Amino acid sequence: MTNKLILASSSPRRQELLKQVKIPFEIRTSNIDETQITTTDPVEKVVELAKLKGLAIPINLNSEVILSADTVVAFNNEIFEKPKNKQEAYEMISNFSGQTHDVYTGVMIRSNEKETVFVEQTKVEFWPLSDEEIESYISTKDPYDKAGGYGIQSIGSIFVKQIEGDYFNVMGLPISKVVRELKKFNICPNFD
């Protein structure tokens, strides 16, 4: 018998990626206070947040496996959260213009028997951008629900010159690594 995956996230992108690889899941989220994680180190932050989210969800049945994740964007080791307004979005995208930044996703997978935590890093290089390009972009809705103020899978993709690492990590879940780890918890894609 295979185990049942519980996704501890309401992220539409994480849900989309799990559906894409045909892993059935149920969503179970909790209201956690992310502000209690105060570290400014991007790797520590995604690990601590993934753990906080994952441990907040109870395992109700022995067959349940909890998957939690958190993604941050960092430039020069400074974390860029979701922009609160146009000014913040402008500053973020301006910083990335012509530069390379890092996207880190911390993932925790746990069952009653075991748990694993890992971090995936992807380097993203932006083209040099004009003020006009940035202004046009931040006038859309795209920047405001995404860490770093852009989505690689949406309009923000036009800024990306190249990436080094997992593309899906930038979307919020390094899906191929997650699938490999889930196999250890007796959860596999269902290709039927």
DSSP class per residue in 17-41: HHHHTT--EEE------GGG-----
Active-site residues, by number, are 70
How many C-beta atoms surround the C-beta of residue 63 within 10 A?
A: 15
Enumerate residues 6+ apart whose C-beta is below 8 A from 169.
71, 103, 105, 120, 121, 122
Identity at 70, one-letter amino acid code: D
Enumerate residues 6+ apart whose C-beta is below 8 A from 16.
none
